[in-house]
Structure 1
Amino acid sequence: MARHQVVEVAQCPRDYVSEVLLLEDRRQIIVTSWDGLLTVYDYEVEHRTVSLNSRLRHECALLACCYVDTFHGRQIYVSSVQGEVLQVDLESEGFIPVKNNYATLGIPCISDFQGQLICGSWDGTLQVVDCETNCVVLQERLSDGLKVISMDVDNERMVIATSRNKVRLFELPLRPKDKGTEVESGLKYQARKVKLTPQGDGYVCSSLDGRVAVEYLEDESRKFAFRCHRLNLVDTSMVFPVNALSFRPNSNVLYTGGSDGSVSCWNLTSRKKVEQLPKFNENSVVQLACNEQVLCVATSDDSFKTNATKDETFELQPSRLYIVFL
């Protein structure tokens, strides 16, 4: 870690960070948070600097963001805890709702697929948005009352981690009445995050109990799981949820972020940890985003997830955002 320079980003949203998105060609970072903020930062690799570009506030908590290439240029979309899907207009500092949206609960996942937007909701709704018309053109609902927890998309398929620890694969483009194929989750406890491998030959899934499962679609003999984000004491072992996953592009190098406040780096080919980044702070690592030059790390106080009660004196620690120059 000594060879990396870490810069803490000023003017970070204080509330829980829900998504971090890297725009490598523009050298920008987009962050959404539960206080309704959409924040855009500019970064410079040569000078190791990060600066605030713009900031918009929506009236509801924002859960996800996505950048979509359209015939009219690139568009930013966000989704909210109220089930909204919104096109962002940075010039007018406004949000334009997507038409014919059927979601009734929050939408934690939105992804770009060939100029369209795929959205997954807590009510189990999957929707495809035509970004040229800003309108939903396909809507399906997962069976058995499953909720979408995490989702990832590449040029051929989509993988979804749902409630009840189910994982489903879909061939893309999404077709009407397609419920997907249920596949092995590889984990005993509820999944937190799922990511397709950069090669498209499998996926990784993290869970509440400090484990990551690595699954391969064509060769089950290659699958494995490993423990991480644990603290081994003399008479006990503390286990932390693995909240965030991010691959270094075009590689088998995976970063994991946990509620222990740390980030680990793994080589999935050798099945070994190759680097352990020092603990950032006392908050949980909740979001990661990576390219060849930088790793973005967002930490937030997620103690509200395990606190049974909340009184007037209960106050969450502010979120923080770091850029690790690789």
Structure 2
Amino acid sequence: MTTTQYELVNPPTDAISAIQYAPTSLRLLVASWDKHVYLYDTSQASGKLLDKYEHRGPVLHVCFGENDEEAYTAGLDWDVRRINLSTGAQTVLSTHTNGVKSVLYSRQQNILISASWDGTLHIHHLSSPTKPHVTISLPNKPFSLSLTPSKLVVAMASRALHIYSLSDLASDSASQGIEPWQRRESSLKFMTRAVACMPNDAGYASSSIEGRVAVEWFDPSTTSQSRKYAFKCHRQPSPEGIDVVYPVNALAFHPVHGTFASGGGDGFVALWDGVAKRRIRQYQRYAASVSALSFSGDGKYLAVAVSPGFEDGKEGVGEGMVAVFVRELGQGEAKGKGAK
């Protein structure tokens, strides 16, 4: 099995906080602490920088909208922005009262969800541009968001986790207050670093600053909940023979096979079969921490963002390599152990 990997030209000049592939093409958005969002075409070796879009502060998250020409961003300027990637025009949809950590677009409900360190979610109804956004208060500071076609998972401080029904968030009664479908406490003992939902809408994986990943299912039945588990990863032995533990900064599910990738402060990316509870493979070590991951919509490519300063779970600190690598996966490379 041959695997091709290449590094994108013209990378950001500061730490990378988020990357996302377009749903139907090999366009890649990259958010950076250098106050820019970058748009690349990764369909050819070394890629091509198509454009970059300046912001007033470091950009913490980015996602595509309903097509490859629309993006949404969040960052330390407190704004939630829409970018027309063709014209470069930017529109502020709402402004939080602190940095905005995450922004996600739900294609099924045509809503945009932002999560801020001010302890709120903003729900933007994109089909009604004049309709004011809905604010939902959270009990703790949000660290990471992920969604499925029907659910939103919000991972927060104090190991708190809320699961919302997207249809509830999109409803006309949302302004009257939305209660989570489920409230949970993380299976991990230390601070959550990332959360990612399974593509089959069955559950999610979460990771912590202490080298662990948990796999859980939405179904609240006792039988289903008994399946949840957690495991150690991204730990490297020291010369003294003691494991050095690194944060697991990034998680991404493969859109076809349902396996998932993890990226750690140790500079490694690993592929996991969450059902069989086995590691499929681990790739070569990168020169700095893995800060973000994204699979292409067809699952044939994996983008890996590498940045210094994520070794201890902190963003935007440190000097060293800032780069994006695109890995073309071999046939069956991301299949689970029991998959045919």
Give the TM-score, by structure 2 length. 0.85
For 2:8 and 2:284, the matched residues in 1 are separated by 17
Shift of the alpha carbon at 1:22? 0.3
Worse overlay, 107-116 or 205-214: 107-116
- Structure 1, unpaired ranges of 5+: 308-313
Could you say what secondary structure the match of 2:226 adopts?
helix
Partner residue in 2 for 1:27: 26
Worse overlay, 297-306 or 57-66: 297-306
1:154 maps to 2:154: no
Partner residue in 2 for 1:272: 278
Partner residue in 2 for 1:189: 190
Partner residue in 1 for 2:41: 42
1:325 maps to 2:328: yes
For 1:286 and 1:39, the matched residues in 2 are separated by 16
1:139 maps to 2:135: yes
CA shift digits 1:224-252 (9 cap, x unpaired): 11110001244311000000001111323
For 1:154 and 1:222, the matched residues in 2 are separated by 20
Q: Name which of 79, 92, 108 aligns with 2:101.
A: 108
Distance 1:150 1:68, change over 3 A: same
Worse overlay, 314-323 or 79-88: 314-323
5 Å-filtered alignment, 1:1-326, equals: 3-44=2-43, 47-69=44-66, 74-98=69-93, 101=94, 103-113=96-106, 114-132=109-127, 133=129, 136-143=132-139, 146-173=140-167, 174=169, 175=174, 176-180=176-180, 181-218=182-219, 219-233=224-238, 234-281=240-287, 283-291=288-296, 292-302=299-309, 316-326=319-329
Contact 2:247/2:311, CA 8 A, preserved across alignment = no
Contact 2:15/2:307, CA 8 A, preserved across alignment = yes
**Percentage of matched positions with identical amino acids:** 27
CA shift digits 1:194-242 (9 cap, x unpaired): 1111111111100011000001122012111111000124431100000
Shift of the alpha carbon at 1:93? 2.8
Shift of the alpha carbon at 1:91? 4.1
For 2:149 and 2:88, the matched residues in 1 are separated by 32
How many residue pairs match? The answer is: 310
Could you say what secondary structure the match of 1:164 adopts?
helix
CA shift digits 1:156-193 (9 cap, x unpaired): 11111001111111111313422423213110000000
Contact 1:102/1:139, CA 8 A, preserved across alignment = no
Shift of the alpha carbon at 1:68? 1.6
Could you say what secondary structure the match of 2:12 adopts?
coil
Distance 1:134 1:33, change over 3 A: farther
Shift of the alpha carbon at 1:102? 5.0
Contact 2:209/2:312, CA 8 A, preserved across alignment = no
Could you say what secondary structure the match of 2:262 adopts?
strand
CA RMSD of aligned residues (A): 2.1
- Structure 2 counterpart of 1:123, one-letter code: D
Shift of the alpha carbon at 1:305? 5.6
Shift of the alpha carbon at 1:134? 6.7
CA shift digits 1:232-283 (9 cap, x unpaired): 24431100000000111132311000000010011112111111100011x1
For 2:203 and 2:133, the matched residues in 1 are separated by 28
Contact 2:77/2:99, CA 8 A, preserved across alignment = yes
- Structure 2, unpaired ranges of 5+: 330-340
For 1:106 and 1:129, the matched residues in 2 are separated by 17
For 1:86 and 1:95, the matched residues in 2 are separated by 6
Contact 2:308/2:318, CA 8 A, preserved across alignment = no
Could you say what secondary structure the match of 1:77 adopts?
strand
For 2:248 and 2:34, the matched residues in 1 are separated by 23
Partner residue in 1 for 2:335: none
Partner residue in 2 for 1:310: none
Could you say what secondary structure the match of 1:186 adopts?
coil
Partner residue in 2 for 1:311: none
For 1:156 and 1:306, the matched residues in 2 are separated by 30
